[in-house]
Amino acid sequence: MTKSDTNFFTLPLRSNTLMKNLVFIGFLAIPSLLTAQISHDSLWSPMRYFIGSWKGTGEGEMGTGSFERTYQWALNGNFIQVRNKASYAPQEKSPQGEIHEEIGFINYNNLEKKFMLRQFHVEGFVNEYKLETLSDDRKTLVFVSFEIENIPPGWRARETYQIINDDEYIEIFELAAPDKDFVVYSKATMKRRKPRYTG
What is the per-residue pLDDT across 77-108, written as a single tens digit (0 to 9) for each?
999 999 999 999 888 877 888 999 999 999 99
As a whole number, the mean pLDDT across the chain is 85
Same-domain check for residues 76 and 96:
yes
Predicted pLDDT at 1:
53
At 92 the pLDDT is: 80
Same-domain pairing of 33 and 69 = no
Rounded Cα distance between 70 and 104, Å, is 10
Q: Are residues 169 and 156 in the same domain?
A: yes
Into how many domains does the chain fold? 2
Task: Check residue 16 and give its pLDDT.
Answer: 58
Is 83 within 8 Å of 92 (Cβ atoms)? no
Give residue 29's domain range.
1-43
Q: ∠ CA 73-195-120 to the nearest 5 degrees? A: 35
What's the rounded Cα separation, in Å, for the pair 61 and 93? 10
Q: Is the pLDDT of residue 176 over 90?
A: yes
